[in-house]
Amino acid sequence: MIDLKVLRENPELVRQSQKVRGGDPAVVDQLIAADEIRRAAVTEFETIRAEQNALSKSVGAAKGDEKTALLENAKELAAQVKAADAKRADAEEKAHQLLLQIQNLIDPAAPIGGEEDFVVLEHVGTPRDFTKEGFEPKDHVDLGKILKAIDTERGAKVAGSRSYYLTGPGALLEFALVQYAIASAVKAGFIPVIPPVLVRPAAMEGTGFLGQAAENVYHLEEDDVYLVGTSEVPLAAFHMDEILDELPIRYAGYSSCFRREAGTYGKDTRGIIRVHQFDKVEMFSFIKPEDAAAEHKRLLEWEKDFLKAMEIPFRVIDVASGDLGASAIRKFDCEAWIPTQNAYREVTSTSNCTEFQARRLNIRYRDENGTKPVATLNGTLVAVPRMIVAILENHQNADGSVNVPVALRPFLGVDTLIPA
Partner RNA sequence: GGAGGAUUCGCAUAGCGGCCGAGUGCGCACGCUUGGAAAGCGUGUAUAGGGAAACCUAUCGAGGGUUCAAAUCCCUCAUCCUCCGCCA
Q: Is 263 helix (H, G, I), strand (E, B) or coil?
A: coil
Which residue lies nearer to RNA by CB, 360 or 364?
364
Of 224-243, which residues contact RNA (CB under 7 A)? 243
DSSP strand pairing (119-124 vs 314-318):
antiparallel
Binding status of residue 50 toward RNA by CB under 7 A: yes
Phi/psi of residue 234, nearest 5 degrees = -65, -25
**Closest distance to RNA from the beta carbon of 259 (Å):** 25
Contact 207, 245 (CB under 8 A): no
Percent helix, strand, coil in the chain, to 5, is 50, 20, 30
Residue length, the chain? 420
Binding status of residue 123 toward RNA by CB under 7 A: no
- Select from 140, 364, 386, 395 the one that contacts RNA (CB under 7 A): 364
Binding status of residue 366 toward RNA by CB under 7 A: yes
**Closest distance to RNA from the beta carbon of 172 (Å):** 23
Decide if 349 is catalytic: yes
- Rounded to a whole number, what is the distance in angstroms from the first to the last CA of the chain? 53
Of 77-96, which residues contact RNA (CB under 7 A)? 77-78, 81, 89
The one segment of 48-56, 109-117, 286-294, 411-419 that binds RNA by CB under 7 A: 48-56
DSSP string over 368-392: TTEEEEPEEEEEEEEEHHHHHHHHH
Total number of residues binding RNA (CB under 7 A)? 29
Binding status of residue 32 toward RNA by CB under 7 A: no
Contact 333, 346 (CB under 8 A): yes
Phi/psi of residue 257, nearest 5 degrees = -125, 140
Taking the C-alpha atoms of residue 159 and residue 233, their distance in angstroms, rounded to an integer, is 25
Catalytic residue, from 163, 346, 401, 409: name it. Answer: 346
Binding status of residue 39 toward RNA by CB under 7 A: yes
Catalytic residue, from 349, 351, 355, 360: name it. Answer: 349
Binding site residues, RNA, CB under 7 A: 4, 39, 42-43, 45-47, 49-50, 52-57, 59-60, 71, 74-75, 77-78, 81, 89, 243, 364, 366, 370-371
Give the residue numbers annotated as catalytic, written as ranges. Answer: 259, 274, 346, 349, 386
